Every structure is written in structure tokens, then in C-alpha cells.
Amino acid sequence: DIVMTQTPLSSPVTLGQPASISCRSSQSLVHSDGNTYLSWLQQRPGQPPRLLIYKISNRFSGVPDRFSGSGAGTDFTLRISRVEAEDVGVYYCMQATQFPWTFGQGTKVEIK
Amino acid sequence: QVQLVESGGSVVQPGTSLRLSCAASGFTFGSNGIHWVRQAPGKGLEWVTMISWDGRIKFYADSVKGRFTVSRDNSRNTLSLQMNSLRPEDTAVYYCAKDLAMTYTIDYWGQGTLVTVSS
């Protein structure tokens, strides 16, 4: 199974400041079709997860442009350009290149 | 809008069985793969199983292989998860979630249903 490792596990941030979360996979996420199926999800307290980013850098419908994704191969990053109060929650990376699909441990974003 | 509504969660004893259901609406159910993902209390997300749009392809996590069976009825827009030989470590909120078309990811999730396995 592909192991997904996120850092940091906790990220206290000031409102209006940027935040960054890293995700590293135990093997390349490049699929045989040439795509890289790395997604980022947000889970607000008491809510189900919500898709933010798919295929490394594609924002899902309705996701604010302050969220961006980057990376390649085994190293990926989610950036929030200016953190807002509604961004509080846990963020997960997820790989869908190979079954079983696997998630990172989650990074808790909270306001300082 | 897309809706996925899980049901069937309950408190059950170890070794028993339970069947979860997911009712879908707001999209062409028969066109999408559907997943079950679970989340133990206070823990992260664990992918459990996926069934293809036509029900012919299924994948399972090793932790549930041989005990859980996923199925779907495209005529009724419903998904089921039959869980046998339940263990305390199966205790979790179980989410039904759909594939985003033409790619590999999950775009919409239900609210989840809680399964508690305890004696």
C-alpha cells in the first residue's frame, strides 16, 4: 500500500496569513495513464470531508482561489494564500493512483 | 444537487453482521463509481471499498476483505455494504462517497452513519 505522510500535523495560523501543508507518498503517484491522482480534502468540525483539489492542482467547483496545490512524483503541497476563519479544520491528502486508496494522517489548521 | 444519504448504522456486538445503505440523488447514479470510507472516532480517514458504475469491479481494503461486501442497485439508486464478522476496530462513521467523473478522486460525500461494535 502507498503510505501518505503529511507535515505538519498541526498548523496554528494567523488570520490573513498564508498556510502550507506538505504531503509525501511512499512511491510515485504517477499513474500508467500519465496522470497523478493526488487530491486534497478539507474536513470542517462535525462535517464530512469536502474535495478541494484533484490531480495535484485542479480546484474543484466552488473552491476559493486562495487554495492551490502543487507538486509532482512523491512530494505535494497545499497552500492557502490568506487563511480565513472558515478554513479551520483538518486537511487530508489522498492518493487514488493505486488501490487501496490511502489518506495522509491529516493536518489540523487552527487560528492562533 | 448531489445527495448521498447513509443509513443502517447501529450498536452491535462483535461477531455479528450489519448492512448499511446509501441512497443517492441529484446525479446519474449509474454513471459513477461509489466508495465507502470510514472514520474511527477522533481519527483519520480510511478507504474501505469501491464499486464500479456497473457493479462489475470491486476493490476492498485488506482490513475488511472477506468480511464486507459492497453492492449496488442502479435501478433504485442505492448502494449497500454488508458487514459480517464485525470487530471493535470496525467502529467508525461510514461515509458513502461518489467518484468525480473522468478522473480518480471523490467529489461528494454523505453525512455518514455511525457503526459501533461493542460488547
Encode B28-51: b = buried (16+ Cβ within 10 Å), e = exposed. Answer: ebeebbbbbbbbeeeeebbbbbbb
CB contact set of B83 (below 8 Å; sequence gap of 6+)? B17, B18, B19, B20, B64, B67, B68, B90, B115
Residue A17: count of CB within 10 angstroms of its CB: 12
The whole-angstrom distance between A20's CA and the closest CA on chain B is: 19
Residue contact A55–B105, C-beta within 8 A = yes
| CA of residue B24 relative to chain centroid, distance | 12
- Tens-place pLDDT, residues A17-35: 999 999 999 999 999 999 9
pLDDT at A58 > cutoff 90: yes
pLDDT at A73 > cutoff 90: yes
Residue contact A100–B108, C-beta within 8 A = no
Is the minimum CB–CB distance between A94 and chain B shorter than 8 Å?
yes
Q: In this predicted structure, what is the pLDDT of residue B102?
A: 84
Q: How confident is the prediction along chain B (119 residues), in pLDDT tens digits per residue?
A: 999 999 999 999 999 999 999 999 999 999 999 999 999 999 999 999 999 999 999 999 999 999 999 999 999 999 999 999 999 999 999 999 999 988 899 999 999 999 999 99
Q: In this predicted structure, what is the pLDDT of residue B101?
A: 84
Nearest to B45 among A50, A92, A99 (CB): A92
pLDDT averaged over every residue in chain A: 97
